[in-house]
Amino acid sequence: MRSIPFPAAAAALMIAGCAAPTASAADPADAQRTITVTGEGRAAAAPDMASITIGVRTDAPNAAAALRQNSADMTATIKKLKDLGVADKDIQTSGLSINPRYNYEQNRSEPEVIGFTASNNVTVRLRDLSKAGSVIDQAVQTGANSLNGISFSFSDPKPLYEEARRDAVADAKAKAALLTDAADVRLGKLLSIQEGYAQPPQPKMYSARMEMASDAANVPMEAGESEVNVTVSLIYAID
């Protein structure tokens, strides 16, 4: 048998490989054509719940005295909140600290400690907004002397999200119909639907330092409206 030189054998193999295409090779013309669209949905409503952070800040010559007075004032504040109908589950301690106070006016290598400050904060959920101003006012008169913030939310945000999702899907479907009509192609069946993100209601916040006693009968506040945002992505086949 006559042997074939190596270069000739290699060439023969290359020719054989080119002559028979693999079965896995796909014809680009057979690939399904699709269109992907993103829709945005929004829904807004008046909040029905508020969360406030009420604090007691106490200054005293030493740490023990500061903590003792602070604890007494916070205990009275919490009792008042419960007397006003706030449930135990809606009152949560959110901050407790004792820190020294320094005198930085004198030129010393280490500032002088001139006392201590004890701080205690509780976050309170108020489920009746009509009484929120009165609750804040009475808490301040009882012992609280700071209001660090307030946010408005929904006790059940599910209906709002459902409305926003429907709006997002309708927006995406309208975009798909418009784009395919402009491109002169036919919109096929829906292949995929995916939610992009669902943004929680944006709270309206403010901060303020309050005096030990309030002159107003009720603290004025406006809950306004809060909005949720949802996006969805739809993939359609096109012909």
CA 108/CA 112 separation, integer angstroms: 8
Q: Report the b/e string of 53-71 with b at 16+ CB within 10 A.
A: bbbbbbebeeeeebbebbe
Write out pLDDT tens, residues 9-62. Answer: 443 333 334 444 444 444 555 568 999 999 999 999 999 998 999 999 999 999
What pLDDT sits at residue 234?
96
* Residues in contact with 78: Cβ distance below 8 Å, sequence separation at least 6, in sequence order: 91, 122
Highest mean pLDDT among 127-131, 160-164, 199-203: 160-164
What pLDDT sits at residue 24?
45
207 or 131: which carries more pLDDT confidence? 131
CA 107/CA 98 separation, integer angstroms: 25
Supply the mean pLDDT for the chain.
82
What pLDDT sits at residue 176?
96
One-character DSSP codes across 28-86: GGGSPPEEEEEEEEEEEE---EEEEEEEEEEEESSHHHHHHHHHHHHHHHHHHHHHTT-
Average pLDDT over every residue of 137-157: 88
Pairing relation of β-strands 112-126 and 146-153?
A: unpaired
What pLDDT sits at residue 68?
95
- Map tokens 């290598």 to a residue: 109
Strand (E) or helix (H) holding 152: strand 146-153
CA 68/CA 58 separation, integer angstroms: 9
What pLDDT sits at residue 223?
75
Residue 144 has which token pair? 């609280």
Q: Tell whether the model's pLDDT for residue 207 goes beyond 70.
A: no
197 or 113: which carries more pLDDT confidence? 113
What is the chain's percent helix, strand, coil content, to nearest 5? 35, 35, 30
First to last CA, the chain: 59
What pLDDT sits at residue 218?
63
What pLDDT sits at residue 202?
59
Pairing relation of β-strands 208-209 and 146-153?
A: antiparallel
Average pLDDT over every residue of 104-120: 85
Q: Tell whether the model's pLDDT for residue 156 goes beyond 50.
A: yes
Average pLDDT over every residue of 149-154: 85
Q: Tell whether the model's pLDDT for residue 210 goes beyond 60.
A: no
Across 152-156, 207-211, 222-226, least confident range: 207-211
Under DSSP, is residue 21 helix (H, G, I), strand (E, B) or coil?
coil
Domains observed in the chain: 32-46+156-202+226-239 (3.30.110.170), 49-153 (3.30.70.2970)
Average pLDDT over every residue of 176-191: 95
